[in-house]
Structure 1
């Protein structure tokens, strides 16, 4: 981190510097909103050699419980917490707010209260669900994806229209000798 970046960080995040960084500040904010969640840092995920390589890496924190998680970064030019919300390895929403406590409350709702992305966005206007989030949460992501391809293929790859039509009507695709049927299972061909 160069001296200009360090000065910006000191000006934008004096509260975080006073407590020891983003992870500590977020953990304290989570306690204030009633969420006892462990905040991890990038350093915890790396070995010592990797830590040396990323010296000066932007501030980062990660929270996970069961199938849900979130990662957060800080903005460099203005005070902003930039984050996303995940479930079972899929990004379902993202957002940004200058207020750490508001992010902490949204994180509590996501990870502890297990709200949907629609409920999260209704309570926290700075949260923006992905277009596919509702389909994922209602277990209709296969239909959503077929519909997305049906719209996208004619525009992006018209040469695949006939292949898509066959796959859509048979509801199966053969990949490397496996027949995949609408997520219902696989058979060897």
Structure 2
């Protein structure tokens, strides 16, 4: 049985019966003194209740709560969620959009909009130390899906230590950029039954991950990854895989 559509107009009188978040947030942003364009979210399901504001490197996304009144916001820069926040005030949402899209740093954003919060990794992205911080997080985590011997062996290799590590399920991945979408041209390591399977990312093969080889221990697996690094693979840079594609094409 299909659930009835939420009555957004009762939670958000600003919308009326036919209005959208994009329309009312655009008006509020302009009233706050900012001249940014507010666009509807791309996904069709968010046409009425989602909006975004984009610039070359920054995006602010806003979505409406459907059970209770709140504006759920996320603040992005170069493919990284830098901060999040929830407010019941349309005017506060408009101010936060304007402040972030105007280029404020994290501290100034939170100072202007106290409902916004962010963590140490976001601060590291802002400082330009995201790679080192991400390695520290993995080396210190107690998460069961992280193979600590594999992390330490990878960290001990200078060329891999310079890349941005991230986990997908049980697999350890390495990216040449620090923002999402990440690059997928560096081999992936997956612990399997006490051994270590090294593969290309699944997009390298229409049938799933393409095997490179297996190793009995993390050190040999890391050596196999290092032997298959792409040409010119240097330290990870700020931005996304799309940014790297654009720079490579020029």
Under a length normalisation based on structure 2, what TM-score does the superposition of the two structures give?
0.60
Is residue 2:53 matched to residue 1:63?
Answer: yes
Residues in 2 aligned to 1:146 and 1:137: alpha-carbon distance in whole angstroms: 16
Deviation string, structure 1 residues 92-112 (Cα, Å, up to 9, x no partner) = 111110101111111111001
Deviation string, structure 1 residues 148-183 (Cα, Å, up to 9, x no partner) = 11112x55257x333332322332239441065542
Count of paired positions: 170
Residues in 2 aligned to 1:18 and 1:161: alpha-carbon distance in whole angstroms: 54
CA RMSD of aligned residues (A): 2.6
* Structure-2 residue corresponding to 1:183: 236
Unaligned runs of 5+ in 1: 185-189
Residues in 1 aligned to 2:143 and 2:86: alpha-carbon distance in whole angstroms: 32
* Structure-2 residue corresponding to 1:134: 123
Are the aligned partners of 1:64 and 1:70 in contact in 2 as well (CA < 8 Å)? yes
Select the residue among 76, 87, 90 that pairs with 2:80.
Answer: 90
Are the aligned partners of 2:29 and 2:95 in contact in 1 as well (CA < 8 Å)? yes
Under a length normalisation based on structure 1, what TM-score does the superposition of the two structures give?
0.78
Q: State the shift of 1:131 in Å.
A: 3.3
* Structure-1 residue corresponding to 2:165: none
Unaligned runs of 5+ in 2: 161-173, 175-185, 188-227, 238-250
Residues in 2 aligned to 1:61 and 1:84: alpha-carbon distance in whole angstroms: 11
**2:60 aligned counterpart, secondary structure:** strand
Higher helix share: 1
